[in-house]
Amino acid sequence: MSELPDERAGIPAEGAKEHAWTSVNEARASWSGAMRAHEQAPPDPGFRDRLRALAEAAAAMRDAHARALDAGLAWRPVADSARARPPYELRPGTGRRGPAGLWTRFDAAVQQLNQAGAGDNLADVAGAYAAVAQVASELADALQAAGE
């Protein structure tokens, strides 16, 4: 993420940019923690709670990147983002629990996030985090409804 040139019309006050950067950094920490929880997870009943934490972290990333966009910041493409893979327990073919249709949507949302990260459009990044947040939340809800 970077600042757009100051010549751009409608740039908010410098305080808004600093607030946006702070929000992005806090959301990144939440996202990193949620991803680490999945990477280090043994197969256990905490899967639903890890999905819920992932949904909340993705929602925080969505909100922080939307604030950054409103503050006039821009996205810098992330090298190799298009080839990134989720933690093992979130990958297809690993015995993921829950409705197959939701997992198909989750995989599409992850691909959308990877492509957005490789691009240069901050609105696409925020939208991709929104997609991950929505489907991860629905998966956690489905597991809870199934008694897991």
39-84 pLDDT tens trace:
666 667 788 999 999 999 999 999 999 999 999 999 999 999 988 9
pTM: 0.75
Amino acid letter, 39 = E
| Residue-range definition of the domain harbouring residue 7 | 2-145
Q: Render the burial of 110-147: b for 16+ CB within 10 Å, e for the rest.
A: bebbbebbbbeebebbbbbbbbbbbbbbbbbbbbeeee
The tens digit of pLDDT for each residue in 29-39 reads: 888 887 777 66
Number of domains the chain is built from: 1
**What was the pLDDT predicted at 3?**
43
pLDDT surpasses 90 at 134? yes
